[in-house]
Structure 1
C-alpha cells in the first residue's frame, strides 16, 4: 500500500471528477442528475442543495483539481492549502456507513464542493508530503487527455481508466510489429 485506504479512495475520486470533462465525450456533469449519479458512484454522503449553484461549484472544483496535474510542487501546495483554508478544514476521525475510522475535515452539512475539495486536498497532502507528485499523470494515449493517479508499486501505469486507451495502444503496437515482420 502506498497511501492509506481513504487517501487512495479520495485520489481516485479526484481523478474521476477531473475526467468528467472529456475532450471526446464532452461534459459528463451537464445536469444535476449527472452529478447525482457521479456522487452515488463515488460514495459521497452529506447534505445537498440540488441546485445549479452546487453543480457550478463542483465544476469549478474540477478545474482547480485539474491544475494539480500540471503544476510544480510549490504551486500544488498553494492549491491544496487554498482548498483547505476556504473550507475551514478541521480534520477529525469519523466512522460511518460501511467505512471504518477515516479522516473528514468538514462537517456533513458543509457545502458539497467544500466537502469534495477538502477530501481531495487531504489526499493530495499525503501525495505532496510523500514526494509522490510524479504519480499524477496524463494518459499516454495520443488521442486522450484524461488524468490518472499511478498507484502501482512499480510506477508503471500509463493509461487512464476512462476508455480503452491501453487496449488500443497495445493493438496498435501489435499491428505495427506484425507489419514490420
Structure 2
C-alpha cells in the first residue's frame, strides 16, 4: 500500500474532479451534474445545490488542476493556502459505512471547502512522501486528463476517461505495420 486508504480515495476523487474539464469538455454543466458527481464520489455533508456552489467547485477544480503538475514547492504553497482558506482543523471521524479517517472541516462547511480540504490533505501525503511524480497528465497526444499512478512500478501512462491507451497502442501498431517493421 502506497498511501492510506482514505488518501487514495481522495486522490481518485481529485483526479475525477479535475477530469470533469478534461480535453475541453465541461461535464459539470449544472447543479444536477454536480449532484451526480458528488453522489458517485461519495461526498457526504451538507449541500446547497445552488449555482454559487457549482461555481465554487469549478474554481476549486481550477486551483487543484494547477497543483496537479506543479513542482513540490508550488504544490505545498497551494495546499497550505487551501487549508488556510478553509480554516482546516484535522479531526478523526467515523460515520456512515466508513471507518476512522480524517476530516478537517465540519460536515456543514461549504462544499468547496470540504472538497478542497480533502484534496489538500491527500496532497499533503503525496508531497511528504516525495511522490509528486505519481500525479501525471495522460500520455496520449490528444488528451490532457489527469492520471494518478498508484502502480508498483510507476508505469501508468494513460487516463481512465476514455480509451487513450488502446487508441494509442492501435495507432502505433498500424504505424509499425505500414512501415513494414512488423
What TM-score does the superposition give when structure 2 sets the normalisation length?
A: 0.96
- How far is 1:22 from its partner? 2.4
Matching of residue 83 in structure 1 with residue 82 in structure 2 = yes
Q: Aligned partners of 1:168, 1:99: CA distance in 2, in Å?
A: 37
- How far is 1:72 from its partner? 1.3
Instruction: Give the equivalent residue in structure 1 for 2:6.
Output: 6
Question: What are the Cα deviations for residues 116-161 of structure 1, in whole angstroms up to 9, with x where unaligned?
Answer: 0000000000000000001110000000000111111100000000
Aligned with 1:90: secondary structure? coil
Provide the aligned C-alpha RMSD in A: 0.9
Question: What are the Cα deviations for residues 38-78 of structure 1, in whole angstroms up to 9, with x where unaligned?
Answer: 00110001001111110000000000000112321111011
Instruction: Give the equivalent residue in structure 1 for 2:21.
Output: 21
Equivalent residue runs for 1:44-55 within 5 Å:
44-55=43-54
Equivalent residue runs for 1:17-166 within 5 Å:
17-24=17-24, 26-166=25-165
Q: State how many pairs are aligned.
A: 180
Q: Aligned partners of 2:118, 2:154: CA distance in 1, in Å?
A: 24
- How far is 1:178 from its partner? 2.4
Question: What are the Cα deviations for residues 92-135 of structure 1, in whole angstroms up to 9, with x where unaligned?
Answer: 11111111111111100000000000000000000000000011
Unaligned runs of 5+ in 2: none
Aligned with 2:94: secondary structure? strand
Q: Aligned partners of 1:62, 1:71: CA distance in 2, in Å?
A: 14
Aligned with 1:27: secondary structure? coil
Matching of residue 168 in structure 1 with residue 167 in structure 2 = yes
Q: Aligned partners of 2:136, 2:151: CA distance in 1, in Å?
A: 13
Aligned with 1:94: secondary structure? strand
What TM-score does the superposition give when structure 1 sets the normalisation length?
A: 0.97
- How far is 1:176 from its partner? 2.2
- How far is 1:170 from its partner? 1.4
- How far is 1:173 from its partner? 1.9
- How far is 1:164 from its partner? 0.3
